[in-house]
Structure 1
Amino acid sequence: MEKLVESLSSNQKRNQALLHPFEGNEALLELTKGRLGNEEPCHVKGAQGEEYVILPKHLLLGLVNLLQKGREERVKLNLERDILQQMPIDFEDVWEVALQEIHRENANPSYVDTKRLIKEIKRRHPNLFFQLGDLFGRAKEEMLD
């Protein structure tokens, strides 16, 4: 994957081609440098100067997988932040309930609205969170005594 990123961001493109329009929907791909290979992209320039990249399928799938993992990691970080903002009594308990909810809803983990999810969990399971109103009420009562 590192080679792919390097090749896409580098000015030195090892595999290059020109795309020549042909009849109808057909076009001719002329390799001008390098070759079509299994490990590197091929940079293609169209007749009007537009640029394309041809990727081997396994590289494209690897790139998509990497993006998906990054998105899921971002959701986990957002979930952690949103749980902590709601002041859980036991973070791990709320985390497990949240993961079960995501799994139960068959939601794509990378597209979960974590704020909504945690607010819903807090509404349905208030015992998992500190209730600030109760804490302030008790503190006020203790001050008055």
Structure 2
Amino acid sequence: MKTYLTLAIGLVGVAGLTSCTKEYYSPPPSKTFIYNISTADWDWDEGVVNQIYYDIDLPELTDYYVDQGVVSVSISVDNETSYNILPATIMGTAYSVNYTTGFVTIYAEDPIFDPDFEVPIPDRAIKVKITLSEADYIP
């Protein structure tokens, strides 16, 4: 009887161990784009002196990324030695980002929103890194 009990427990154990499957998940792919903003590329809206902006045409930024993907934007003011993830305040200027399908806009503005303060155009080229990542949308 003990032999049958041992055999039954052994078979259940083997069946239990062999039925487990290990699942591996690979991270969703990402795409990264680098842009340069020179000092001459910044624009102002008419009558607004406390904010400048730069528009980036990015056709790869589809509705998918706007609706459920991940859009990460960072800038480097030191020739890619380091990056600051936006929003960030760098050397007294507040940088932020807005994006929609096909476009990314980088803003540089006075951090205290003083309408009489004119935001200086950055004195060096700025590198922009935009990363588009796929994500599993869970409502």
- Bin of the TM-score, shorter chain as denominator length: under 0.3
**Which has the larger share of helix?**
1
Q: Which has the higher strand share?
A: 2
Higher relative contact order (CA 8 A, sep 6+): 2
